[in-house]
Homo-oligomer: A and B are copies of this chain.
Amino acid sequence: MRLSELSRAAGVPTATVKWYLRIGLLPRGVPTGPNQARYDDAHLRRLVLVRTLAEVGGLSAEATRSVVDALDDSSRGLHDVLRVAHHALAGPAPANPVPEAATAAVDGFLADRGWSVPPDAPARVELAAVLGALERLRQRGTGVSPATAPPMDTPDEVRALLTPYADAVDALAAGEIAGAPDDMPRDELVERVVTGTVLMERAVTALRRIAQEHYSAERYTV
A contacts, CB < 8 Å to B = 10-11, 44-45, 48-49, 51-52, 55-56, 58, 77-79, 82-83, 86, 89, 91, 94-96, 110, 114-117, 121-124, 126-127, 129-130, 133-134, 136-137, 140-144, 162, 164-166, 168-178, 188, 191-193, 195-197, 199-221
Inter-chain contact B176/A212, CB cutoff 8 Å: yes
* C-alpha gap A52/B129 in the complex (Å): 10
| Further contacts, 9 of them, CB under 8 A, given A169-B207, A177-B216 | A52-B136, A52-B137, A115-B211, A122-B209, A134-B195, A142-B188, A143-B196, A144-B199, A165-B172
Inter-chain contact B127/A191, CB cutoff 8 Å: no
Inter-chain contact B177/A212, CB cutoff 8 Å: yes
Oligomeric state, in copies: 2
Residues of chain B within 8 A (CB-CB) of A176 are 212, 215
Q: A168-B204, A169-B168, A205-B201 are in contact. Are A177 and B219 (CB under 8 A)?
A: yes
Inter-chain contact A191/B78, CB cutoff 8 Å: no
Inter-chain contact B215/A174, CB cutoff 8 Å: yes
State the Cβ distance, A38 to closest chain B Cβ, in Å: 18
* C-alpha gap A110/B209 in the complex (Å): 13
Residues of chain B within 8 A (CB-CB) of A78 are 216, 220
Inter-chain contact B214/A173, CB cutoff 8 Å: yes
Inter-chain contact B212/A143, CB cutoff 8 Å: no
* C-alpha gap A130/B78 in the complex (Å): 23
* C-alpha gap A196/B164 in the complex (Å): 14
Inter-chain contact B208/A201, CB cutoff 8 Å: yes
* C-alpha gap A56/B202 in the complex (Å): 18
Inter-chain contact A204/B169, CB cutoff 8 Å: yes
A214 to chain B: closest residue by CB: B115
State the Cβ distance, A137 to closest chain B Cβ, in Å: 6
Inter-chain contact B219/A178, CB cutoff 8 Å: yes
Inter-chain contact A220/B77, CB cutoff 8 Å: yes
